[in-house]
Amino acid sequence: MASRTVEDYIKQIYQEQQPAPGQLVSLGRLATAMEVVPGTVTTMVKALAEAGLVSYEPRQGVRLTPAGEKLALHVLRRHRLIELFLVQVLKFDWSEVHAEAEELEHAVSDRLLERIDELLGRPGFDPHGDPIPSAAGEVAQPRLHPLNAARPADRGVIARIADQQAEFLRYATARGLVPGAEVVIQSVDVPGDSITLLVRGKSRTLGRAAAAGILVAWQPETAASEL
Amino acid sequence: MASRTVEDYIKQIYQEQQPAPGQLVSLGRLATAMEVVPGTVTTMVKALAEAGLVSYEPRQGVRLTPAGEKLALHVLRRHRLIELFLVQVLKFDWSEVHAEAEELEHAVSDRLLERIDELLGRPGFDPHGDPIPSAAGEVAQPRLHPLNAARPADRGVIARIADQQAEFLRYATARGLVPGAEVVIQSVDVPGDSITLLVRGKSRTLGRAAAAGILVAWQPETAASEL
DNA sequence: TATTTCCTTTTGAGTGTTCAAAGTGAAAGA
DNA sequence: TCTTTCACTTTGAACACTCAAAAGGAAATA
């Protein structure tokens, strides 16, 4: 049985690896993310490698093995189902549930999780728009793109808020920047480092850094701008 | 912040102390209940005393301090509200919820607990009939008595099942021995070590050990048999 | 009183997780 | 090429919790 700490490391590695699956994650990054000193990560990563959950290349970084990825998806499934449960059943605000789920994800049994999944109607996405892995470990992975990479006239639907700090979530909510909202890019001001878009009939301007925290599924006609 | 282990010890001491509050609990008892070796308890109890949660008299036993009792009631409040939540909202069977709550009681925040309490309508008792301490630490303590101390013709209502092992709970449920059920003692067979009673119109015989696991609130006319 | 028994405590050690601080390697700059 | 720098690793130690086994104390028995 993986300890709570092991689950947290594995989940974090998964998330650091997300932009480019299979990529090596540096131990320094991991130390920052886990809020521990670098030496602690070196020690821990060796133990994870010993347990077959990651492959570790000294001075290069870590990467999840298939077993590690399976565990990561299990933890994420628990985390995201709990978040959705808290929002839908207990009427929490979606900006508050992250920290709560962080604790509960290590305490719910498979049986309880199954009840929750059933009660919620086997949902595919959590309140932030993140996909909920299936019990078998499959994830729906829609092609999403950060808002800061948009071009004028692009049009799409907000799918996820990647930056899940409570303050940012409140900021986004207050402006209608929530999963499901339609957006149309009005202008991109490169020197001004900002982007202006239309949401719910209102024009909003936000900086590139903030825009990077919002992921959008563009409508087909703009899909060519990908690559 | 009390660790999970500390919370478990404190809760256990509270429960061992229950029959006679203020009483000393021997370390051996505690070791058995916590399923650890006696030496571990000695070490742990010293640390609890250091933290001001118990008073410890070497070779005599432990007793909760007011601070310890406050913590115990907090933990019990979490445990019992969670049990009721699992039964009422997630449709668990009451015989299944104990182990589940054992984990969750260490993971729910005060805010989440408050939501649950509100959603359930600020209940006073959990599915086993145990009183749920208030947030301020007050417990409704009805005068209850084990069924094995009953006399023929005693009549009352089952208030609690003290033995919460899943197997016993299923046994009790199957025979209608659930909180709220009216019982009338038909006979007490001392040499035969058994007791016969009427529940839901059916006559049932059970051994003294099993009867000790069922707590009853007797009707006034029999209250004199107390002391 | 002397002995036995039972419970409790002590001692030494191990596991998992963490830190501080010293040491090492590899890439970047001089 | 030599040096500096930065990231990473190692080492030694601590903390919380646990066990096994030896030692000690108090009460019951002889």
Put simply, the chain A residues between 103 and 132 with a CB less than 8 A from any chain B CB are 103-104, 106-109, 111-112, 115-116, 119
Say if the Cβ atoms of B100 and A106 lie within 8 Å: no
Residue B142 CB closer than 7 angstroms to strand C?
A: no
Strand C, CB < 7 A, residues 183-222 of A? none
pLDDT of the residue at B219: 66
pLDDT band at A220 (very low <50, low <70, confident <90, very high): low
Residue in B closest to A105 by C-alpha: B107
Domain boundaries, chain B: 4-64, 145-225
Residue B3 CB closer than 7 angstroms to strand C?
A: no
- Among protein residues, the one whose C-alpha sits closest to the C1' atom of D11 is A39
pLDDT of the residue at B226: 33
User: Bigger pLDDT: A9 or A178?
Assistant: A9
CA angle B189, B191, B192 (to 5 degrees): 60
Residue B99 CB closer than 7 angstroms to strand D?
A: no
pLDDT of B81 > 70? The answer is yes
User: Bigger pLDDT: A167 or A112?
Assistant: A112
Q: Which residues from chain B sit within 8 angstroms of residue A119, using beta carbons?
A: 90
Nucleotide nearest B8, CA–C1', reads D17
pLDDT of the residue at A164: 86
Fold of A145-225: SH3 type barrels. (2.30.30)
Mutate to test the interface with A, among B85, B112, B116, B118 (most CBs of A within 10 A): B112
Q: How far is B1 from chain A (nearest CA, A)?
A: 15
pLDDT of the residue at B73: 97
pLDDT of A223 > 50? The answer is no
Say if the Cβ atoms of A104 and B103 lie within 8 Å: no
Residue A32 CB closer than 7 angstroms to strand D?
A: no
pLDDT of the residue at B179: 84
How large is the average pLDDT for residues A102-127? 96
Question: To the nearest whole number, what is the mean pLDDT of chain A?
Answer: 90
pLDDT of B92 > 90? The answer is yes
User: Bigger pLDDT: A22 or B102?
Assistant: B102
Say if the Cβ atoms of B119 and A90 lie within 8 Å: yes
pLDDT tens, position by position, B45-58: 999 999 999 999 99
Nucleotide nearest B61, CA–C1', reads C8
pLDDT of the residue at A225: 35
User: Bigger pLDDT: A176 or B36?
Assistant: B36
Q: Give the residue carrying structure tokens 């630490």.
A: B137
- What phi and psi values does residue A180 have, to the nearest 5 degrees? 100, -20
Instruction: Name which of A86, A107, A112 is nearest B106 (Cβ-Cβ).
Output: A107
Nucleotide nearest B59, CA–C1', reads C8
Q: How far is B123 from chain A (nearest CA, A)?
A: 17
pLDDT band at A145 (very low <50, low <70, confident <90, very high): confident
Sheet of A155-161, strand order: A145-146, A214-218, A155-161, A182-189, A194-199, A202-207
Say if the Cβ atoms of B116 and A92 lie within 8 Å: no
Question: To the nearest whole number, what is the mean pLDDT of chain B?
Answer: 90
Instruction: Name which of A90, A104, A106 is nearest B115 (Cβ-Cβ).
Output: A90
pLDDT of the residue at A219: 66
pLDDT of the residue at B176: 87
CA–CA separation, A226 vs A223, rounded Å? 6
What is the secondary structure of chain B as a DSSP string?
---HHHHHHHHHHHHHHTTSTT--B-HHHHHHHHTS-HHHHHHHHHHHHHTTSEEEETTTEEEE-HHHHHHHHHHHHHHHHHHHHHHHTS---TTTHHHHHHHHTTT--HHHHHHHHHHTTS-SB-TTSPBPPPTTS-------EEGGG--TT-EEEEEEE----HHHHHHHHHTT--TT-EEEEEEEETTTTEEEEEETTEEEEEEHHHHHTEEEEE-GGGGGG--
> Which run of H or of E encompasses A55?
strand A54-57
pLDDT of the residue at B38: 98
pLDDT tens, position by position, B133-151: 999 999 987 678 888 888 8
pLDDT band at A33 (very low <50, low <70, confident <90, very high): very high
Identify the CATH assignment for A4-64 out of 2.60.40.290, 1.10.10.10, 3.10.20.600, 3.40.640.10: 1.10.10.10
Residue A165 CB closer than 7 angstroms to strand C?
A: no
Q: Does A89 touch chain B (CB under 8 A)?
A: yes
pLDDT tens, position by position, A37-54: 999 999 999 999 999 999
pLDDT of B109 > 90? The answer is yes
**Span of A104-108, A140-144, B209-213 with lowest mean pLDDT:** A140-144
pLDDT of the residue at B224: 36
User: Bigger pLDDT: B160 or B19?
Assistant: B160
How large is the average pLDDT for residues B149-174? 87
pLDDT band at B102 (very low <50, low <70, confident <90, very high): very high
% chain A with pLDDT above 70: 96
Say if the Cβ atoms of B109 and A100 lie within 8 Å: yes
Nucleotide nearest A58, CA–C1', reads D8
pLDDT of B222 > 70? The answer is no
pLDDT of B153 > 90? The answer is no
Instruction: Name which of A91, A103, A115 is nearest B90 (Cβ-Cβ).
Output: A115
pLDDT of A224 > 50? The answer is no
